[in-house]
Structure 1
Amino acid sequence: MLIFYNEYKYIKFSTKKLWGVSGNMNNNEHITKKGLITSIAGYLIFILVYWVAFYELNNLCRFGRLHNNLTVFFGCMIFFLAWFIILLINRIKKRANEPQKSEDSNELYSHYKAISTIITIIAISLITIFYGVKIYHSAINYNGKLSWILGDLKNKKTVKLEQDNIYENGIEGIFTDINKKVAMPEKLYISNSFSINFDSNGKITSFDTYLYGKTSKNVLESFLISYDSKKSRNIIIYLNGHVNADYSDDKLLEPLLKTMKVIPLKKTVSNWPEKQFGIIYYGKRSFGYNSSGIVNIDSKGNTNSDVKAISEIIGYTVSVFVPGKENKYTPVRYNLIDGLDNLNLSEPPKENSDKKISKKTNNSTDEFYLSELIGYRLEVTGAAAGSRAYSLNLTSDGGVTWKTINEDPFSGNIGTAAGVVFLNDKLGFLCLSHSGGSNGQLYRTDDGGVSFKKVDFPSLNVTLANGKTYNPFDLPGMPFEKDGVFSVLIGQGADGDYNGGSKALYQSQDQGKTWNFIKEASQN
């Protein structure tokens, strides 16, 4: 009985000690409880604001939206600063002025404050890890706004355009300014085209091109170059983007520079009562037997506009034109005829030849000619960090004039053009590659390019030695037709090494709407 009585007294004493109960709470105990509640509430508020700050930071890294996210994020930063200042002031006051609490009260307060602190640290750690992983993911290529910003910091260069008069400095003035900050290979190739706009005084208003070449150490370098005087006086250069580098002499930049040195540019545009003019160069290209606007010019500037189309006209042609008014003013197309092997003296074709041209001189990954007159071209409309947006253009006169038939054939997706082919005037295919040519998608049209749909291929999964499965075939080539059956080879892209770089052969019986896997084909 004495033992139970002692136990009861012990429990009663402990309860009083824990809650400060001795009939009535003294003032110190009230202060302790009030401070404890305030402290816990403060921790909860801190955790909430910390979560909001990381939530907004994650959205900022993924989507940008500076106006919305930055306002809330900076509000959270101000809260943390105020929290730190208030905490510092309270610590100083407590040491100087706070009366000593009873031993029991201090022990109770410290106990619960320690628990609150541990819970707060755990919550902050979980929030940090959860959103830290998301923010890291947004820094990986193409996964968020942060990846574009980091890509720009690494690969984007800006150079002020000092030599901005094309009459006085020519195109070489542009490269003189660029080379002040960016070292470019001596031998350069154009990926698509080189286009320049300028006004009647010769001031360059904009230009755009994508160049590549090898350094002295045989390393591929690419340069996506653009300039718009309405936005900035700086030339913007993106380095190390994906480019289909075939090093074709048909795409050399040097003929443009040589031709621009001798053509009478100011005299040419003075014949047109306009304020804006343009120059465009695609490398060596074919105009078929259409001699409209063709002017042969030699290295001394002597010209001959009386060009007879006794053979297919092929050359490194530099076109001078009025943007948007090509139908009103026939562009002048200068062919430098000496030093560039710029004339093709092949025999004219036999009459009544209506076969599709499967590989014309200027057919490439972004241009295709269905006949001597009908051609399709993917034109760059926007660029960012090595990826581009395109429109689909059509020519019905062998490349003399072009019109846009689809402003966004890839439905908002960006990348690098990896192929264009039309099997007739209605049915065609486009391919857009991503991630440096690691993968891509095929798009199909059956209305002449007015609309496109993404082509779906049945996934072909292979099993690795570790038991994992994946589909290595993710970069489609261009479909071809034989005896009514459509076939396409799907490769592994730049990052593929499965089975010696083999490809998957797919075939279609309904003109490319649906596809079936046939077999795995060797790389060759």
Structure 2
Amino acid sequence: MKKYKQITRRKIFISMLLNPLFIFIYCISMYELYTLCKFGRTGHNIIVLAICMFSYLIWLIVFIARSIKIPLNVSQENTDSDSTVKVKSLYKTMWTYIAIVIIVAITSFYGYKIYNTAINYNGKLAWVLEDLRNKRTVKLEHNNIFKDGIEGVFTDINEKIDIPKELYVSGNFDLIFTNDGTITSLDTFIYGKDDKDKLKSFLITYDSNKSEKIIVYQDDYVNADYNEDKLLNPLMTTMNVIPLKETVNKWDENEYGIIYGGKRSWGYNTNGIMYIDLNGNIKAPNDAPSEIIGYTVSLFVPGKEDIYMPVRYNLVKDLENIFKEDSLDKKRTENNLEKSSEGSKKPSGNTEEEFYLSDKTGYRLQITGAAAGSRFYSLYGTFDGGITWQTVNENPFLGSGGGASGITFINEKLGFLALSHSGGSHADLYRTEDGGSSYEKVDFPVVKIPLKDGKTYNPFDFPGMPYDENGTLNTMVGQGSDGDYNKNCEALYRSKDQGITWEYVKEV
């Protein structure tokens, strides 16, 4: 009797499992589970999945009820004919195989699609798994910048996460706080090496309107060049000596900001610059006879930078030496001005990184970064004879790195820059027609010099600065540091459309 009941229960279970209604509900639940993993539409998917789960629960209750009511009498009289029984058995067998194929197909199809949503960021599930691996939350206990400083934030983070001692900032460190010192938001991306010399990176965000916890994403991708200009420690050092509360209270606003991006150049612009030493001594420069470069922490009023000049604390070791050096630089500049021709006040001598169009207008390529032997530049301009400088183009070479090999302007709109590569073996020329706001790379027609094996090559790959000759632009294109063709001669190119297109003229 016990064995009979077990066989009967198995038959009941299989028959209910292969029921078309059950298969239909199973198909819907697998589809909804897939779309939930793919798109994360919790509002819609969870409701449908809940209905499916409720249907499965009813199915289970029905199965239990039918199992309990299995008749005790083993023998049952069959009134159907043999032929009818055979037909029913045949249809039942066919449907059993069909139902099994459908269930396997549904499971395989949606199982594979669900698996794909978990890899390579193909769906919401991949991001959820990524968060489980790398996302950490830390309650911000030290949330008053006046009392706890920047160190308070990292004290809280270190309670849960081991952060390297020497850190670098990728981009900027941005922090917003209220007039009573309460931190309301924080954004930064930092990285460094742990005790095992392994790269660790941390994307840190905080928004008091959304949560009282700091969100930290670990081991995210970062271009780690370990440039000392991007050290984070000078931020801590500067924040410990600047009169933060006294500075922001002068503005009498509800919200203030702090921004730090490592060492940066302010050119010759002294607006808002405050030199500060390790003892908290402060001195503002009256002028800038030399370029202002240093680790700078800026304080500002968010959204009102045009109304309130940000205060830029530039950390120095010795205030007295800074101003002595500035005084010497000022004397050198004055001597250069006195030596300039015809009484002009234009600074003497244009170089590969600096060019003066007139006594008032000049341009300079300023290094903003370095990696693998290459340098990256921004273009600065002055329109008052070098007293102040401003950024004209943050990326004139369109993201390329190398060494500046020339700068010139034909007039206030038309100008050229050159960038060398591979130790000066070749270079590219860039053209602007809007005063430096945008640049495009210049293409020269290829000169084909025949070789003994019948092949040809172009030795002229190092363009110089174009110059105007009776309304036509000319430029000499050399061979670079690796050139040896025809006693290292150059190619003369000419343009009749202001440098847009060029034609080869001859060897020189």
Scaled to the shorter chain, the TM-score interval is 0.5 to 0.7
Check the 8 A contact 1:158/1:234 in 2, yes or no: yes
Aligned counterparts of 2:238 and 2:107: Cα–Cα separation in 1: 60
Larger Rg: 2
Cα 1:213–1:63 shift into 2, 3 Å: same
Aligned counterparts of 1:226 and 1:280: Cα–Cα separation in 2: 14
Aligned to 2:259, the other structure's residue is in SS state strand
Question: How far 1:135 moved relative to its partner?
Answer: 1.0
Give runs of aligned pairs for residues 66-77 of structure 1, distance below 5 A: 66-77=42-53
Cα 1:101–1:481 shift into 2, 3 Å: farther
Aligned counterparts of 2:382 and 2:309: Cα–Cα separation in 1: 17
Cα 1:373–1:208 shift into 2, 3 Å: farther
Of 338, 361, 369 in structure 1, the residue corresponding to residue 378 of structure 2 is: 369
Q: Which residue pairs with 1:27 in the alignment?
A: none
Question: How far 1:278 moved relative to its partner?
Answer: 0.1
Question: How far 1:92 moved relative to its partner?
Answer: 2.1
Cα 1:154–1:339 shift into 2, 3 Å: farther
Aligned counterparts of 1:112 and 1:184: Cα–Cα separation in 2: 68
Check the 8 A contact 1:61/1:146 in 2, yes or no: yes
Aligned counterparts of 1:266 and 1:107: Cα–Cα separation in 2: 93
Deviation digits for residues 109-135 of structure 1 (CA, Å, limit 9, x no counterpart) = 665444433322221111111111111
Identity %: 47
Aligned counterparts of 2:293 and 2:33: Cα–Cα separation in 1: 56
Question: How far 1:65 moved relative to its partner?
Answer: 1.4
Deviation digits for residues 57-87 of structure 1 (CA, Å, limit 9, x no counterpart) = 1111111111112211221121122112212
Of 339, 352, 356 in structure 2, the residue corresponding to residue 353 of structure 1 is: 356
Of 115, 135, 142 in structure 2, the residue corresponding to residue 136 of structure 1 is: 115
Question: How far 1:397 moved relative to its partner?
Answer: 6.7
Q: TM-score, normalised by structure 2?
A: 0.63
Give runs of aligned pairs for residues 145-164 of structure 1, distance below 5 A: 145-164=124-143
Cα 1:450–1:109 shift into 2, 3 Å: farther
Give runs of aligned pairs for residues 282-297 of structure 1, distance below 5 A: 282-297=261-276
Letter in 2 for 1:85: I
Check the 8 A contact 1:281/1:319 in 2, yes or no: yes
Of 306, 309, 322 in structure 1, the residue corresponding to residue 285 of structure 2 is: 306
Q: In the comparison of the two structures, how many residue pairs are matched?
A: 373
Check the 8 A contact 1:164/1:174 in 2, yes or no: yes
Question: How far 1:306 moved relative to its partner?
Answer: 3.4
Cα 1:109–1:170 shift into 2, 3 Å: same
Letter in 1 for 2:194: T
Check the 8 A contact 1:296/1:307 in 2, yes or no: no
Aligned counterparts of 2:73 and 2:185: Cα–Cα separation in 1: 70
Aligned counterparts of 2:108 and 2:225: Cα–Cα separation in 1: 45
Q: TM-score, normalised by structure 1?
A: 0.62
Check the 8 A contact 2:368/2:378 in 1, yes or no: no
Aligned to 2:380, the other structure's residue is in SS state coil
Check the 8 A contact 1:161/1:233 in 2, yes or no: yes
Aligned to 1:58, the other structure's residue is in SS state helix
Aligned to 2:70, the other structure's residue is in SS state helix
Provide the aligned C-alpha RMSD in A: 4.5
Letter in 2 for 1:361: T
Aligned counterparts of 1:342 and 1:75: Cα–Cα separation in 2: 77
Question: How far 1:315 moved relative to its partner?
Answer: 0.4
Of 48, 54, 62 in structure 2, the residue corresponding to residue 78 of structure 1 is: 54
Letter in 1 for 2:390: G
Aligned to 1:311, the other structure's residue is in SS state coil
Of 174, 195, 199 in structure 2, the residue corresponding to residue 220 of structure 1 is: 199
Give runs of aligned pairs for residues 320-335 of structure 1, distance below 5 A: 320-335=299-314
Unaligned runs of at least 5 residues, structure 1 = 1-34, 375-395, 404-417, 428-444, 452-479, 486-524
Unaligned runs of at least 5 residues, structure 2 = 1-10, 337-346, 349-354, 402-406, 416-431, 439-461, 467-474, 476-508
Q: Which residue pairs with 1:203 in the alignment?
A: 182
Q: Which moves more between the two structures, 301-310 or 331-340?
A: 331-340
Aligned counterparts of 2:118 and 2:435: Cα–Cα separation in 1: 39
